[in-house]
């Protein structure tokens, strides 16, 4: 019986969180805030109410469930979601940043393009943007870039983390581009470890 109460409590918390999220979106729409949307926005029921919503084509391919796909396709047809590709210079800038933080190991190509789009939109126009994502790795990079974001159903991250490859035997740290699974010094396994930076 207690597990039923727990499930009901979790559902109630999610509904409250979603309600507050939708309220924040309605307020932001009045201020011409540009939203950059990850797949989790569509999967978790985001319904665009303005023409200031952007995503990249790879994100639309990540949306698989029928209800979310119909909502996404309809929003694109109505012009409520704009598919926009970032310029190459912003993809390169992002790749340099995530290479330093180690997040390049954890982000998909779609995630990288979406983050580059955020940089692109911030650079070209005098606009406010907010990225909607539940992806912790994306949130980590957004914190590093000082770009606002909102989670849809998760709490979001508390700090910024870097990722480093470390030998489990001798504890030697390797660059993110170290290509081997075993340590070149002692032969132990190399794993990815996160380090809180702030």
* Cα(33)–Cα(51) distance, integer angstroms: 10
Higher local confidence (pLDDT), 97 or 196? 97
Number of residues written out for the chain: 198
Per-residue pLDDT tens digits for 121-146: 998 667 889 999 988 889 989 999 99
Indicate the pLDDT class of residue 163, thresholds 50, 70 and 90.
confident
Supply the pLDDT for residue 9: 60
The pairs formed by 76-79 with CB atoms below 8 angstroms and a separation of 24 or more are: 79/51
Q: Give the separation between CA 195 and CA 198, rounded to whole angstroms.
A: 9
Task: Place 172 in a pLDDT band, splitting at 50, 70 and 90.
Answer: confident
- For residues 165 and 174, the answer to whether their CB atoms sit within 8 Å is yes
- 182-196 residue pLDDT tens: 888 788 888 777 666
Q: Which band of pLDDT confidence, cut at 50, 70 and 90, is reported for residue 31? A: low
Q: Give the predicted TM-score (pTM) of the model.
A: 0.66
Is residue 37 a contact partner of residue 81, using CB atoms and an 8 Å limit? yes
pLDDT value of position 90: 96
């Amino acid at each position: 019986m207690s597990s039923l109460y727990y499930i009901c409590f979790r559902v109630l918390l999610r509904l409250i969180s979603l309600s507050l999220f939708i309220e924040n979106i309605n307020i932001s729409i009045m201020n011409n805030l540009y939203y950059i949307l990850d797949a989790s926005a569509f999967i978790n029921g985001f319904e665009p109410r303005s023409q200031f919503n952007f995503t990249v084509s790879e994100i639309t391919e990540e949306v698989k469930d029928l209800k979310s796909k119909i909502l996404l396709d309809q929003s694109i047809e109505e012009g409520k979601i704009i598919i926009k590709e970032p310029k190459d210079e912003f993809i390169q800038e992002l790749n340099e940043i995530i290479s330093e933080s180690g997040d390049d190991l954890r982000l998909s190509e779609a995630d990288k393009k979406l983050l580059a789009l955020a940089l692109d939109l911030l650079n070209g126009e005098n606009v406010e943007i907010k990225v909607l994502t539940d992806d912790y790795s994306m949130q980590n990079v957004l914190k590093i870039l000082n770009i606002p974001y909102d989670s849809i159903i998760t709490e979001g991250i508390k700090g910024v983390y870097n990722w480093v490859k470390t030998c489990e035997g001798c504890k030697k740290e390797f660059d993110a581009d170290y290509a081997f699974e075993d340590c070149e010094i002692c032969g132990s396994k190399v794993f990815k470890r996160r380090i809180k930076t702030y």
